[in-house]
């Protein structure tokens, strides 16, 4: 029973300088709309840095990785900082397989 899909969640908070977006559960096609909405809300905040915490993710598919990558590109193009922090084993494996680990886990991104 441990292989059952886990419900997706996104929790956002801000300290005025950074947005913290904590994601959990299965990040896949079924939750893509919610993920994109959470990322768009984070993008709208006038902060210097967006940190996405993946510690509680149980699955990350290519669509979720695409959403994170597109958001990272937009944030960085605006001169802001985008970091993925505390990747779960499942999310780190997905990033490693796709070659996105280096791009999304930028230098210093493991600080939290």
User: Could you state, in order of their start, the residue ranges of all structural domains in the chain?
Assistant: 9-104
- At residue 105 the predicted structure's pLDDT band, cuts being 50, 70 and 90, is confident
Query: If you average pLDDT over every residue of the chain, what do you get?
Result: 91
- Is-contact 12 20, C-beta < 8 A? yes
Average pLDDT over residues 87-104: 94
Token pair for residue 76?
A: 């960085």
Alpha helices, DSSP H, located in the chain: 32-44, 62-77, 89-98, 101-104
Helix-, strand-, coil-residue percentages of the chain, each rounded to 5: 40, 30, 30
- At residue 111 the predicted structure's pLDDT band, cuts being 50, 70 and 90, is very low
Whole-structure pTM value = 0.89
Residues whose CB is less than 8 angstroms from the CB of residue 86 and which lie 6 or more positions away in sequence, other chains included: 53, 54, 55, 110, 112
How confident is the model at residue 2, as a pLDDT?
60
9-104: CATH superfamily: STAS domain (3.30.750.24)
Average pLDDT over residues 51-80: 96
């Amino acid at each position: 029973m441990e292989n059952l899909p886990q419900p997706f969640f996104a929790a956002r908070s801000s300290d005025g300088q950074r947005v913290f977006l904590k994601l959990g559960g299965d990040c896949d096609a079924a939750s893509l709309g919610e993920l994109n909405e959470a990322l768009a809300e984070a993008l709208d905040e006038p902060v210097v840095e967006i940190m996405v915490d993946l510690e509680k993710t149980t699955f990350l598919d290519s669509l979720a990785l695409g959403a994170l990558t597109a958001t990272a590109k937009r944030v960085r193009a605006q001169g802001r900082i985008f970091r993925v922090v505390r990747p779960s084993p499942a999310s780190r494996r997905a990033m490693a397989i796709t070659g996105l680990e280096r791009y999304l886990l930028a230098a210093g991104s493991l600080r939290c």
